Amino acid sequence: MTADAPLTDTRWQTLTTKIMDACAALACYTEVEGETNRPFLCPTTHQVHEYLTHWADELGMTTYEDAAGNLRSRLAGATPDARTLYLGSHLDTVPNAGAYDGILGVVMGYAMLEAVKGEALPYAVEVVGFSEEEGVRYGVPFIGSRALVGTVDDMLELCDAAGQSVRDAITEYGLNVEEMAEAQYKGKALGYFEIHAEQGPVLQDQGASLGVVDGIAGQNRLMLNFVGQASHAGTTPMNLRRDALAAAARFAVAAEDLARATPGLVATVGVMQALPGAMNVIPGEANCTLDIRHARDEVRLGALKALLETAEAASAERGVTVTVTPKMEEKATPMSGDFKALLHRAAEAEELPHPELVSGAGHDAMIMAAHMPSAMLFVRSPNALSHHPDEMVLPEDVTDALRVSVRFLHLLAEQNV
Ligand SMILES: [Zn+2]
């Protein structure tokens, strides 16, 4: 193969148009008229898969749905025992979604292969449209990618709001849950590469069309329950109060202060509730949440410890007690150093800025990275809008990302001949 066989500008533009058109077309397959809404294994998933299968057929790929409802399109490698590069993202959406979150990465997987059509890649490639990443229907994300890496079994009995289990949803969709073991990837994996809209403001702020993801932030989510004493707002002097909300408020501001002072740390108190909740009653109880994230586990855990000490101190000062309930903990997921280096080289060759950034949101790459070298390329999100119908990506940014990704395929091929 020729690593630098240049595509003409017209060809890149044609491919970009095909990507943008596919995202727009797939956004019309929805469970809710007038918006894009596609939860895990909803009936319109069939149409999404049919659309993408047409494209895969044009590329000479073999396509099937696995037992978790992932769409898998496979292009054979140079030899039967060639390693497999997985490209993809997710095809489910949040309610009232935009057209690009997840979908862009799947569609671009096909576009990358169209760009190299006719070249003999030494590795096999599988484009995967994961069936579930958003966690909307079952409250827990990554059913699709967990099936691919063989860790989905403990999710099959989860039930949605209507009481239907994952197992039954799979059967109703028309797949055989007994074949789940077949969904697990076989043979040697070369790695996983995911293109995704940034969904944040960093690339726009830096004036870059794309960025190389350094890692996916680890996170803790917890609930805090502050208990003091409700009493009369007029007759209780300040020194005799046990105001639970005041302690919680101190904690919330401390979280903001610490995150502002710590590079890369984000901390959010997203829920704050005062009880009994009357204008003339001192809050006897307050409940709040904390969501804290950082790319390095030791920074996140150090900050969490400091904040919980602040919650204790702010409570003790007021005769309030605080109880902490952990809700979720995810370790940080670093991306593959080798793959990152190739992406930087690819962007360098395309003469494009290529800042590194941390993903504050979870992605399928989080699950894949535990099993194979994984990398992500972010595409700028204008106005940082995501999980919103006005979510967008710029066609010229998509072209940049496609050029870099195709070069990444070539660099990877040079390493694996
Ligand atoms: Zn996504």
On whether 294 is known to bind a ligand per the annotation, the reply is no
88: number of Cβ within 10 Å: 31
Question: What is the model's pLDDT at position 5?
Answer: 57
pLDDT above 50 (res 201): yes
How many angstroms is it from 102 CA to the middle of ligand 1?
4
293 is in an annotated binding site: yes
Which CATH homologous superfamily contains domain 9-216+333-415?
A: Zn peptidases (3.40.630.10)
Torsion-angle region of 224 (φ positive above 0: left; ψ -120 to 50: alpha; else: beta): beta
pLDDT of residue 4: 52
d(CA 95, ligand 1 centre) in Å: 13
Q: What is the pLDDT of residue 139?
A: 86
Residue 280 marked as a ligand binder? yes
Domain boundaries, the chain: 9-216+333-415, 218-330
2 has a pLDDT exceeding 50:
no
Which three-class secondary structure state does DSSP give residue 153? helix
Residue 134, marked binder: yes
Q: What is the pLDDT of residue 57?
A: 98
For residue 46, say whether it is annotated as part of any ligand binding site: no
| Cα 58 to ligand 1 centre (Å) | 26
Task: Give the pLDDT of residue 1.
Answer: 45
Please say whether the beta carbons of 256 and 236 come within 8 A: no
List beta partners, residue 227. Answer: 285, 321
Q: What is the average per-residue pLDDT within 128-139?
A: 94
- Which CA distances in Å does 39 have to 32, 135, 141, 273? 11, 9, 11, 30
CATH of 218-330 given 3.40.50.10190, 3.30.70.360, 3.40.50.720, 1.10.101.10: 3.30.70.360
Confidence at residue 251, expressed as pLDDT on a 0 to 100 scale: 98
Quote the mean pLDDT of the chain: 96
Give distance in angstroms: CA of 275 to centre of ligand 1: 36
309-354, pLDDT tens digit by residue?
Answer: 999 999 999 999 999 999 889 899 999 999 999 999 999 999 999 9
* C-alpha span between 254 and 50 (Å, rounded): 51
- The annotation status of 58 as a binding-site residue, yes or no, is no
Half-sphere CA count of 340, side-chain side, radius 13 A:
14
User: pLDDT, tens digit, for every residue of 250-278?
Assistant: 999 999 999 999 999 999 999 999 999 99
For residue 17, give both structure tokens.
């148009």
Query: What is the distance between the alpha carbons of residues 248 and 269, in angstroms, rounded to a whole number?
Result: 10
45 pLDDT higher than 70: yes
Mean pLDDT of 159-167: 96
Mean of the pLDDT values across residues 277-298? 97
Which residues does residue 197 pair with via DSSP β-bridges, in sequence order? 379
Share of the chain above pLDDT 70, in %: 99
- The reported pLDDT for the residue numbered 3 is 46
DSSP, residue by residue, 167-216: HHHHHHHT--GGGHHHHS--S-EEEEEEEEE--SSHHHHHT-SEEEEEEE
DSSP letters for 47-75: HHHHHHHHHHHHTT-EEEE-TT--EEEEE
Task: Please tell me the distance from the alpha carbon of residue 79 to that of residue 299, in angstroms, as a whole number.
Answer: 45
The pLDDT value recorded for residue 417 is 64
- Amino acid present at 383: N
Q: Is 81 annotated as belonging to a binding site? A: no
Output the CA angle 302-307-309, nearest 5 degrees.
100
